[in-house]
Structure 1
Amino acid sequence: MLTIRAPAVAGTFYPGLATDLSDDIAALLANAAQDRAKPPKVPHDTPKALIVPHAGYIYSGSTAALAYQCLAAGRQRIRRVVLLGPVHRVPVHGLALPGATAFDTPLGRIPIDTVAVAALAHLPQVVTSPAAHAQEHSLEVQLPFLQTVLDRFTLIPLAVGDATPREVAEVLELLWGGSETLIVISSDLSHFLPYRSAQKVDQDTVQHILQLDSHLTHEQACGGTPVNGLLLAARKHQLQPELLGLCNSGDTAGDKIRVVGYAAVAFRQGGHHEH
């Protein structure tokens, strides 16, 4: 029986009409392609993993697009997306699956990878919580971008609550796969600091990410737990991080009194990482 997780923030965090949404994403991706300050180190090497922000598109869509426009070369090859983001509304212990067979957005339906879900069943840190997913935006806002830049793919969505970085890394390891699998970690950076303070804090946080330092706090990144788990896995797999963009809401659509930070980071296969 189909169990569909309906969109919860369409019309608020992003446009609710498919035509408007497609137009917005196309514009964001086109701008991102032009705004890259430098070409990627390996232009045709599709990232294995991304860190992307999850605010409304008016605030962080331009930063998220910097990450998603890197996936062009993997459009047909990527067939599975492992998507992790922090819970904002319903607390959970561990990493929560939605108990659904598909996610809907205005752009269509994305099937859940039921084989992968079954493979996670033996892990004690993996639970099922439809409530944790029902109103959660951190995962949902990534889906229209993924539907735009990829062809057909299945999804493994995990809403991360009270867990350790090692527990997250264990889940990622089980789902790691090959070039057909993309890992997306949804996280904003600092919250509600004055503009200049946020810039300093976020620049420091990004340096820790680029050093694969898996000790970020939730004050540095609201998705600190899944980010830390990815950084542990990235170190093990010798992924090389690249900062694609860094800004805050004061640079996009908000005031500069209390801002939220956003970064886009790509992780590619490589023999070393930058310090």
Structure 2
Amino acid sequence: MQIRSPVVAGAFYPFDAEELKKTIKDFLEKTKPERRKTIGIVAPHAGYVYCGKTMAAVYNSVSHSFETVVLVGPNHSGSGVGVATSLEIWKTPLGDLNPDEEFIKEISRDSIISEDPRSHWREHSIEVQLPWLQCRFKDFKIVPISINPIYFDLNNCKEIGTKISEAATYLRKKVLIVASSDFTHYGPMYGYEPFRGNTQEILKKIKEMDMEVIDHVLKLKAVDVVKTCDEKRLTVCGYGGIGAMLFAARDLGAKKAELVDYSTSFEVSRSTDAIVGYAGISVF
């Protein structure tokens, strides 16, 4: 079985195992959200220095362990096929994570989802979630799903979500579905400045844009998440995965959602050249 080695260890998060565990532990100890019997979450995927507070809050909100964690993230590089899973073992500084082979085979059957490790080799959106899972839970396998943004249309998102829920039901697996996504990417570094103003005006507008999408998530409205991001050309980089997670979570019995934390990179960087919004959302 092939090994998928980490590509952003030492950049997005510490490469040294002890330093990484301490970093995550320090973030987790600062958050005390109400814990839920969670089916799905939305979690950011930036460097921990920027979004660690939000990641800690949402991972700390999950009350129980799982047999299988399905991770759905955007394919920023565009490598490989459009919608891809992988049977590789994923290596992190904290140890190896094995794929749930029977789950992967089930979602790949007569499906838009193909098994293609190339789609994951250079992508960070799923990788950065894994150390948090390793620090919070034990004895789970993973199902990585990478989606090229050109495949973020409504029909594809619904098919991916349905495949996840059907596999979980058929295999009788207790699952957590992680939708990996940042929210608005604003500033000249991203080539996205649909509005300007002083710092507080910019931050207020970014939050308003993000909250429009977040409100749809909180109402479990997968269709509205996908349509809003698509029609308004928003820079929510993983909205397809959010939509897929919501379709699956509703099929699996989710009734509510909660915004556990919201932040922006400005809180750390103090720069308006590049501002990214981060939301931690629990679906239960």
Q: In which range does the TM-score fall when normalised by the shorter chain?
A: 0.7 to 0.9
- 1:166–1:229: 8 Å Cα contact kept in structure 2? yes
**Counterpart in 2 of 1:82?**
70
**Counterpart in 2 of 1:272?**
none
Verify: 1:204 aligned to 2:212, yes or no.
Answer: yes
- 1:53–1:264: 8 Å Cα contact kept in structure 2? yes
Rounded to whole Å, the distance in 2 between the matches of 1:190 and 1:241 is 20
- 2:261–2:280: 8 Å Cα contact kept in structure 1? yes
Letter in 1 for 2:21: S
- 1:52–1:63: 8 Å Cα contact kept in structure 2? yes
Verify: 1:176 aligned to 2:168, yes or no.
Answer: yes
TM-superposed CA distance for 1:212, in Å, is 1.9
1:226 pairs with 238, 241, 253, which one? 241
**Counterpart in 2 of 1:113?**
100
TM-superposed CA distance for 1:234, in Å, is 3.4
The alignment-based identity, stated in percent, is 29
Verify: 1:70 aligned to 2:61, yes or no.
Answer: yes
- Between Structure 1 and Structure 2, which shows a larger proportion of helix residues? 2
Change (3 A) 1:228 1:206: same
Rounded to whole Å, the distance in 2 between the matches of 1:117 and 1:254 is 42
Equivalent positions of 1:232-243 (< 5 A) are 232-236=247-251, 237-243=253-259
TM-superposed CA distance for 1:255, in Å, is 1.4
Letter in 1 for 2:10: G
**Counterpart in 1 of 2:194?**
none
Verify: 1:129 aligned to 2:128, yes or no.
Answer: no
TM-superposed CA distance for 1:152, in Å, is 1.4
TM-superposed CA distance for 1:93, in Å, is 4.8
Rounded to whole Å, the distance in 2 between the matches of 1:92 and 1:175 is 24
Rounded to whole Å, the distance in 2 between the matches of 1:27 and 1:55 is 17
Verify: 1:11 aligned to 2:26, yes or no.
Answer: no
Rounded to whole Å, the distance in 2 between the matches of 1:16 and 1:4 is 17
- 1:10–1:16: 8 Å Cα contact kept in structure 2? yes
TM-superposed CA distance for 1:235, in Å, is 3.7
Rounded to whole Å, the distance in 2 between the matches of 1:74 and 1:235 is 19
Verify: 1:57 aligned to 2:48, yes or no.
Answer: yes
**Counterpart in 2 of 1:259?**
275
- 1:191–1:259: 8 Å Cα contact kept in structure 2? yes
Rounded to whole Å, the distance in 1 between the matches of 2:75 and 2:255 is 26
> Given the two structures, how large is their TM-score scaled by the length of structure 2?
0.84
- 1:201–1:220: 8 Å Cα contact kept in structure 2? no
Change (3 A) 1:188 1:9: same
Rounded to whole Å, the distance in 2 between the matches of 1:139 and 1:89 is 13
Letter in 2 for 1:248: T
- 2:108–2:115: 8 Å Cα contact kept in structure 1? no
Residue ranges of structure 2 left out of the alignment (5+ in a row):
188-201
> Once structures 1 and 2 are overlaid, which stretch shifts more, 90-99 or 256-265?
90-99
Rounded to whole Å, the distance in 1 between the matches of 2:261 and 2:138 is 25
Change (3 A) 1:175 1:94: farther
**Counterpart in 2 of 1:273?**
none
**Counterpart in 1 of 2:159?**
167
TM-superposed CA distance for 1:226, in Å, is 1.2
Rounded to whole Å, the distance in 1 between the matches of 2:98 and 2:249 is 27
Rounded to whole Å, the distance in 1 between the matches of 2:57 and 2:141 is 22
The two structures, once aligned, show a CA RMSD in angstroms of 1.9
Verify: 1:144 aligned to 2:131, yes or no.
Answer: yes
Rounded to whole Å, the distance in 2 between the matches of 1:86 and 1:65 is 21
Change (3 A) 1:151 1:165: same
> Given the two structures, how large is their TM-score scaled by the length of structure 1?
0.86
